[in-house]
Amino acid sequence: MIVILKKDYNEDQLGNLKDWLKSMGLDIHLSAGANHTVLGLVGDTTVVDADLIRALSIVEDVKLVQEPYKKANRKFHPEDSVINVGNVKVGGGNVQVIAGPCSIESEEQLCGIAQSVKESGATVLRGGAFKPRTSPYAFQGLRAKGMEILLTAKKLTGLPIVTEVMDVSQLDLFADVDLIQVGARNMQNFELLKELGRMKKPILLKRGLSSTIQELLMSAEYIMSEGNEDVILCERGIRTFETATRNTLDLSAVPLLKEHTHLPIVIDPSHATGYARLVPPMALAAIAAGADGLMVEVHNEPSRALSDGVQSLTPADFDTLMAQVNAIRPYAYKYS
Amino acid sequence: MIVILKKDYNEDQLGNLKDWLKSMGLDIHLSAGANHTVLGLVGDTTVVDADLIRALSIVEDVKLVQEPYKKANRKFHPEDSVINVGNVKVGGGNVQVIAGPCSIESEEQLCGIAQSVKESGATVLRGGAFKPRTSPYAFQGLRAKGMEILLTAKKLTGLPIVTEVMDVSQLDLFADVDLIQVGARNMQNFELLKELGRMKKPILLKRGLSSTIQELLMSAEYIMSEGNEDVILCERGIRTFETATRNTLDLSAVPLLKEHTHLPIVIDPSHATGYARLVPPMALAAIAAGADGLMVEVHNEPSRALSDGVQSLTPADFDTLMAQVNAIRPYAYKYS
Amino acid sequence: MIVILKKDYNEDQLGNLKDWLKSMGLDIHLSAGANHTVLGLVGDTTVVDADLIRALSIVEDVKLVQEPYKKANRKFHPEDSVINVGNVKVGGGNVQVIAGPCSIESEEQLCGIAQSVKESGATVLRGGAFKPRTSPYAFQGLRAKGMEILLTAKKLTGLPIVTEVMDVSQLDLFADVDLIQVGARNMQNFELLKELGRMKKPILLKRGLSSTIQELLMSAEYIMSEGNEDVILCERGIRTFETATRNTLDLSAVPLLKEHTHLPIVIDPSHATGYARLVPPMALAAIAAGADGLMVEVHNEPSRALSDGVQSLTPADFDTLMAQVNAIRPYAYKYS
Amino acid sequence: MIVILKKDYNEDQLGNLKDWLKSMGLDIHLSAGANHTVLGLVGDTTVVDADLIRALSIVEDVKLVQEPYKKANRKFHPEDSVINVGNVKVGGGNVQVIAGPCSIESEEQLCGIAQSVKESGATVLRGGAFKPRTSPYAFQGLRAKGMEILLTAKKLTGLPIVTEVMDVSQLDLFADVDLIQVGARNMQNFELLKELGRMKKPILLKRGLSSTIQELLMSAEYIMSEGNEDVILCERGIRTFETATRNTLDLSAVPLLKEHTHLPIVIDPSHATGYARLVPPMALAAIAAGADGLMVEVHNEPSRALSDGVQSLTPADFDTLMAQVNAIRPYAYKYS
C-alpha cells in the first residue's frame, strides 16, 4: 500500500499516522520529493482499511499494491480449487455444463427438460424457484412448490441441482440442494453472503451487473472468511452502454480470474447475451478461453406458442451445442 | 405496447397470441407492412409481461409505450406526494437536509454531530449502524449498539432519524426509526422491498450503482404495491467509466423523476462524488435543479487525525454550506 | 418506424406530418388507443431522419423497426462479403491473422518481426507509422519514415500490409498500403470516412471505445455509401467501468455482426485486454466464436529491457498461439 | 510516479532502468518489501511515458502521482485563465451564455434567432455549418453556405460566433469565426488538435462521449503545447448505461476541472440531456455549481411543424431561462 501525503502535511500528524501503522505490524518507507512525500507500507496490508487512511487530512491518496483478498487469492493458494457439487467436480480441469430452465413451471416441464439435458451430456440441473424480477407484477417463481419439483427432478435423473436463494429466510428449503446460487443482484447482499459462509454447501456466486472482478472476489472472500471455501464464480454479463445484447459478456474475466484466484469460473452465456441465437458461439468461446463450465438456459419443446424463452435453447439446440462443446474442449486454452 | 412480428410468422400462432392478449382486456391494432407486421396493444399493458411476449417464436421485438409502473407513476397521481418523516415533511415544495456521519462510532461522536447539524439547520439526522462494506475485513458498523446510540441522539435533539437496513432480520430494531434507508446495493433485494412494503414507515430508497431511473421506479413500485406508498427516492451517483469521482452524480435524475413520478427526490452528493471538496458545489447544483432535499455526510471535529472522512464535511463546512443552500433555495427551478 | 404521438396532438399538424411522410413514399398505419396514438410507417424508412420526426411538437417518441443502414445490411446482401487484401482473402470462411508491432521503430525491428510472424503463419503485416497517443509528449510514430520502412518489410516478405491513417492529409503516403486502418478514435471522423469511401482500397474500421454495434455499422455505411464497399470491421474492446483490463472485449459483437451485416469481422485481443498474458485465451475465444480473423501485437525479442510492449506477444509466444489457433479452427462456430 | 517491480525482477535490468530514469533528471527512492519492491520517482515526471515503463518485463505496474499535463495544470498556473472571445471574456468570474440553433438552416432562421437570443441576454452566437451525423443519409449541414450565413448574423448582431470544425481542410473558412469548436467525436482527433494549437484563435473543446476528465485535459494540452493557450472546456454529457437521457451530464466535472486546471468550463445541457424540458433545471444547476458559462440550443418559433428541435428551447423559453440564470448567478458556488 502506498500513501501519498499532501504537500503541506503536518509533522505531528505524520508521526501519529506512522505510529498507528507500525502498531499494525507494518514497515514504513518514506520517499520525500519536491512535490510529494510518499509512504510505502510493507507487510500484510490486507488488514488495513484504505478508506480510513484516505480520509486523513494529511493524505492526498492511497494506492493499493496488494490485493485486499486473501482466502480467494491464488498467491496464497496456488493450486486450483476443485469443488464437489453432488458427485460432480468443478475446477482443476473438470469442465461441467449446468443446464435447465430459467423458471420451474411444472413437474412435467422440469422433469422433461432434466432428462433431455442429461441425455445430451449436462451434469448439473438448474431451475429457478425464487425468481428476482424487476417488476412486482411479473411472475415471481413457484417458490416452495418449485423447490419440491426440483427435488423430484433430482431424484428422477440423479443430477445434482443448483437454484437461487434470494433471502436468508429461504435457506431452510435448501437442505437437499447441491449448489446454492447467489444471483447478480445479491452479489453484495453481505448479510446473505455471511450466512452462506457458515453453511457446508458449495456456493455459485454470480458477478453483479456493475461489479468489478475485484469486487466479485471480495464477495467470495465474505463467504470464505466465514469458513465456507467452496465457491464457484460465474460471469454472466456486465452492464455497459451497448443495448444490442442484454448485457455485455466479459469473457476476459476467465483469464483474469484464473490469474488472481484458485476458484473455478463458470460462464453463463444465456443471461449475458439475452438471445438464444448468441448462446452457442459464446458458449464455444467460453470453453476456448478455458472456463471451468457453462450455465445454459434450456426450455422444453413449446407445447404452446407462449413457452419459448427468448434466451433459452431448445433441447435439440442444446444437444447440438453439447456436441460442439465436446469437440472443442481438447483445444481450449490451458492455464497450467 | 408494440409487438413486432417476425417476417415469416405463422398465422395460427398469431391467432393464439391475439386471443391471449384479448383475454387480458387489450385491444389489438395490426399494421401489415412489406417487411414487418406490427401489433399495437391498447389498454392497461402494465399487467403484461413483455419478456414473455418477446420470447414467442413469432415475435421479433417488443417496444414499450407505457411505463411498467403504476403506483409510482405521476400519470395516475399528478400531485406531488408529501412524505412525513417524524414531524418533518418531504416533497411538494418542502426541502429538507439530512445530515450526520456515515458510521455511528460512539455516543459522544453522534450526539455532538447531531447537535451541531441541528444548529446549522439540518432537519433529519442520519447515522449508519449496519454498514455494507466491500471487504469482510472492514469495519461493519456498531450494529445493535449503534441503533441504541442513534435513539439517544434522537431523544437529545428531537431530530427524526434515518438509518440503513441491510436484511429483513434487522427490522425488529427499527421500531423507533423515522425513515428506513435501503442502500444502493439492496435496491433490487426484492424480498426486503416486499417486507418494507408491509410496514407503516417511510422508506428512503437509494438508486443502485448501475440501475436505470426506470428500475429505481420499479423498485419503488415493489414497496408501494404491498401497501406502503411513503417512498422517498435518492440519487447517489451511478457507476461509469470515469474514476476521478467515486461515482458519477446523475443530476438529470431530478427533472426526469419529477416528470415520471410524484415521489420526492433527495440527492446525496457525498456518496456520489466521494470527496468532501466536491460536495458543496454539487449540493447547490442539486438544490438549483429542484431536488426535494439533500443527504450530506458530516463528521465531528477530528479529535485525532484518523477521524476525518474523505467525503465528510466538518460541522463548520456544513454550517457554511447550509447558509449557501438557504440563500440559493428561492432561485431553484420550480416544477409546477 | 413507429411514431408515438403525444396525447393532445393537433389534427392539422398530424395531417401535415402524414402528407410529408407519404411524399417520401411511405405507407402509414394509424392505431388510436386510449392513452396513445401510434403511426406505423411502412416502406423504405432508411431515408427518414428519425431525429427530425422525434423533434416534432406532436411526437412523443420514435421507435425504429428497420436498421438505418442499407449497404452494410445483411438483409439486402445475404452472402458474406469476401475482401481482398493484397493476395489474401478475408471473410466467407477465410480466416486471417494480422500480426506485427504497435509502432514501427526501425527497419531492423519491423523486418525481423515481419519475417518471424510470416514463418509462424501470419498472413498480413501490421505496423503503426502514425500513432494516436493521449499525451502530446508521448512518441507519435515515425510517420513518413515509418511508412518507408513498412514498404520495405512488405517487399521483403511479400505480406500485404495494414497501417493506420489519422488524417486525410496523410493519404498520399498510402498508395502501396493494402489495407487502411481507421482507429477507434476516428470511427466517427466522418470527413475521413467519406474520403476513404472514394478510394479503391479495403478499409479496416475499428469500433470506437464507446460506440454501439449500430454506430459501427453506420460508420461502415459512410464509407460504403461513397462507393467503397470493401470494409472489414474490427472489435477491439469497449470502455466500461471495469479497469482490470484496458478495455472490455465485447466478443458477442461477432455473432451480432454476423447476423446484421455481410462484412467480415476481425478481433484485436491485444488492444482489447491490454495485457499480453490475456491475449492467447481471448484469441482462441474469438476464433471459437467464428471471427474472420485476429489482429495481434507482436514485438521482437527485446534487445534491451525497454522494448517489451505490455500487450505485445514475443515472436515465440505468437508462434505457440498460431499453433493453438490452427488447432482450434476446425471446431469454431459456423454461421451458415 | 511510482513503479512497482515484479517479485522476481532481475538486478541488471533494474540497474538499466535506474540509469535511464536518472538520465531524465529523476531521483529514485527504492522501498524493498517482502512482497513487492517499489520505486518512487521524484522530479518532473510529465516527460516520462508511463506506458513504456509499464511495458518493461521487470515492472508489475506504474501508478501516477503527478498529473501528466503541464500547461493546462492549475498547479503551474494558479490564476484562472480569462479567454477573450471577440469582445467577450470567459472565465475568472465572467459567466457567458452561448445560444443558437444546432444547425444553420437559412439566413432568415439564424438572424431571427440571433437577434432574439441577444435581446434575452446571450453574449455569444452558436450555429452549426458542418454537422457530424451518425448516418450518412442525415442532413450534413449547409457547410460553406452556412458559414456565410453565420458571418451575416455576426455582422447584424455584433455577437461573437462559435461553430464546429470537423476537419483541418475546413479551417480556411474559419478566419472570421471568434471561437472554434471541436466536437465530442473529434476530442481525440490529434492531428486536428495540433493544427488548432498553431492558430491564434480560442478553441472550445468538447469532452468526448467516453473521455475521462484527464483525457479532456490531455487534449487541451495537445492544443496548448503547440502554442495556443486559449482553450475553453465544455462538458456535454458522457455515455453511460442510462438511456432515459441522451447522455449523462457529469456536472461534477465543474468542481473537478476547477481544481485541476485554470481553463474555463462551460456546460452544454442541451446535448447532455437531449430533451428541451430537462435543459432549464440543468442549466440552473450548472450555474449553481460554478460553471463559467452555458451553451444552449435555441430554435426559432416553428413556422411549420417540422422545425422544433427535440432538445432546442424556443426563444420564449430561452428568455425565461435567462431571467432564472441571472437571478441565481449571485448565489452560485465560488471557487476562490
Tell me: do B175 and B290 sit in the same domain.
yes
Single out the residue of B215, C270, B231, B137 nearest to residue A209, CA to CA. Answer: B215
Query: Does residue D193 sit in the same domain as residue D270?
Result: yes
Q: Measured between alpha carbons, how far is D266 from D269 in angstroms, rounded to an integer?
A: 10
D183 shares its domain with D164: yes
Residue B80 and residue B58 share a domain: no
D256: closest CA of chain A, how far (Å): 15
The total number of structural domains in chain B stands at 2
Contacting residues for B328 by C-beta, under 8 A, at least 6 apart: B284, B287, B288, D288, D328, D331, D332
**How much is the pLDDT for A61?**
80
| Same-domain check for residues C53 and C78 | no
Taking only the tens place, the pLDDT of each residue in D280-299 is 999 999 999 999 999 999 98
Cβ within 8 Å, pair B248-D250? yes
* Residue of A281, A290, A332 with shortest CB distance to C255: A281
Q: How many residues does chain B have?
A: 336
**Closest approach of chain B CAs to the CA of D108, in angstroms?**
33
Nearest one of B280, B289, B275 to B321, comparing CA atoms? B280
Confidence at residue A34, expressed as pLDDT on a 0 to 100 scale: 63
Of C248, C277, C278, the CB nearest to A248: C248
**D137 and D280 together in one domain:** yes
Query: Are residues B199 and B226 in contact, defined by beta-carbon separation less than 8 angstroms?
Result: no
pLDDT tens for A19-43 read: 888 887 888 877 776 667 888 787 7
**Residue at B25 is within a domain:** yes
Q: Residue B303: pLDDT above 50? A: no
Closest CA to B31 of A130, D213, C28, A293: C28
Nearest CA in chain B to A225: B136
CB contact under 8 A, D285 and B242: no
- pLDDT for res A15: 86
Residues A130 and A13 in one domain: no
C94 DSSP 8-state letter: B
Contact C235, C250 (CB under 8 A): yes
**For residue C275, what is the nearest residue in chain A, using CA coordinates?**
A256
Could you tell me if A191 lies within 8 Å of chain B, comparing CB atoms? yes
- B42, B63, B84: which is the final residue of a domain? B63
C201 shares its domain with C238: yes
Residue B302 is predicted with a pLDDT of 45
> What's the pLDDT at B35?
66
Contact D278 B256 (CB under 8 A): yes
Average pLDDT, stretch B92-121?
A: 95
Q: What is the mean pLDDT of residues B332-336?
A: 93
Q: Are B237 and B211 in contact (CB under 8 A)?
A: no
Residue A72's pLDDT is what?
95
Among A212, A249, A193, CA closest to A71: A193
CB pair distance less than 8 Å for C63 and B66:
no
- D 59-98 near C (Cβ less than 8 A): 68-69
Percentage of the residues of chain A whose pLDDT score is greater than 70: 96
Chain C residues in contact with D167 (beta carbon < 8 A): 168, 189, 191-192
Q: Which of A126-140, B35-49, B113-127 has the highest mean pLDDT?
A: B113-127
On whether both D312 and D194 belong to a single domain, the answer is yes
CATH number at residue D16: 3.30.70.1140
Can you tell me the mean pLDDT for C135-158?
Answer: 94
Mutate one of B4, B46, B51 to test the A interface: name it (highest A CB count within 10 A).
B51
Inter-chain CB proximity A306 and B56 less than 8 Å: yes
With respect to residue D46, please indicate whether it lies within any of the assigned structural domains.
yes
User: Does the beta-carbon distance from B188 to A302 stay under 8 Å?
Assistant: no
Residue C336 lies in a domain: no
The CATH number that applies at residue D224 is 3.20.20.70
Enumerate the residues of chain B whose CB falls inside 8 A of the CB of residue A55: 306-310, 312
Task: Place B283 in a pLDDT band, splitting at 50, 70 and 90.
Answer: very high
From chain B, pick out residues whose CB is under 8 angstroms from the CB of D287: 288
Same-domain status, A171 and A59:
no
The enclosing H or E element of B326 equals helix B315-328
Q: Which three cell numbers, joined as nine digits, stand for B330?
A: 428561492
What's the pLDDT band for C26 if we cut at 50, 70, 90? Answer: confident
Interface of A with C in 116-155 (CB under 8 A): none
pLDDT at residue number A35: 66
Domain that holds residue B57: 2-63
Domain boundary among B63, B87, B108: B63
Residue of C245, C255, C288 with shortest CB distance to A252: C245
Q: CA-CA distance, B112 to B71, in Å (whole number)?
A: 40
Task: Say whether D240 and B248 touch across the interface (CB within 8 A).
Answer: yes
Classify residue B107: in a domain, yes or no: yes
My answer on whether A151 and A25 are in the same domain is no
Q: Does C289 touch chain B (CB under 8 A)?
A: no
Q: DSSP class of residue B33?
A: -
Per-position b or e across B307-336, b if 16+ CB within 10 A of its CB: bbbbbbbbbebbbebbebbeebeebbbeee
B197/D contact by beta carbon, under 8 A: no
Is the pLDDT at A189 greater than 80, yes or no?
A: yes
Predicted pLDDT of residue B305: 33
pLDDT-based confidence at residue B30 (cuts at 50, 70, 90): confident
Which region among A323-332, B137-146, C319-328 has the lowest average model confidence (pLDDT)?
A: B137-146
* Chosen domain end from B63, B91, B108: B63
Q: What is the rounded average pLDDT of the residues B268-272?
A: 95
Q: How confident is the model at residue A64 (pLDDT cuts 50, 70, 90)?
A: confident
Q: Which residues of A touch B302 (CB under 8 A)?
A: 57
Q: What is the pLDDT of residue B49?
A: 75
Q: Which residues of C touch A261 (CB under 8 A)?
A: none
C68 domain residue, yes or no:
no
pLDDT digits (tens, 9 = 90+) for D102-135: 999 999 999 999 999 999 999 999 999 999 988 8
| A187 shares its domain with A39 | no
When the pLDDT of each residue in chain C is averaged and rounded to a whole number, the result is 91
Residue pairs spanning A and B at CB distance below 8 A:
138
Check whether C304 has a pLDDT greater than 70: no
Contact with chain C for residue D51, Cβ under 8 A: yes
Residues of chain A contacting residue D27, judged by C-beta atoms under 8 Å apart: 33
- Is A241 close to C210, i.e. CB distance below 8 A? yes
State the nearest Cα–Cα gap between D29 and chain A, in angstroms. Answer: 6
pLDDT of residue B34: 63
- Which chain C residues touch D169 with a CB distance below 8 Å? 168-169, 191
Q: Find chains touching chain D: ≥3 CB pairs under 8 Å.
A: A, B, C
The shortest CB-CB distance from C31 to any of B4, B40, B61 is to B40
pTM of the shown model: 0.91
Looking up cell 505468437 gives C318
Check CB contact of D316 with chain C, cutoff 8 Å: no
The answer to the question of residue B69 being in a domain is no
Is some CB atom of chain A closer than 8 A to the CB atom of C282? yes
Per-residue model confidence (pLDDT) at position D46: 72
Q: Which residue has the cell 455505411?
A: C221
Q: What is the pLDDT of residues C239-296, one digit of tens each?
A: 999 999 999 999 999 999 999 999 999 999 999 998 889 999 999 999 999 999 999 9
In a domain, A69, yes or no: no
Percent of chain C with pLDDT over 70: 96
Residue D105 or B332, more confident: B332
Evaluate whether residue A336 is within a structural domain.
Answer: no
| D47 pLDDT above the threshold of 90 | no
Question: In chain D, what residues touch A259 (CB-CB under 8 Å)?
Answer: none
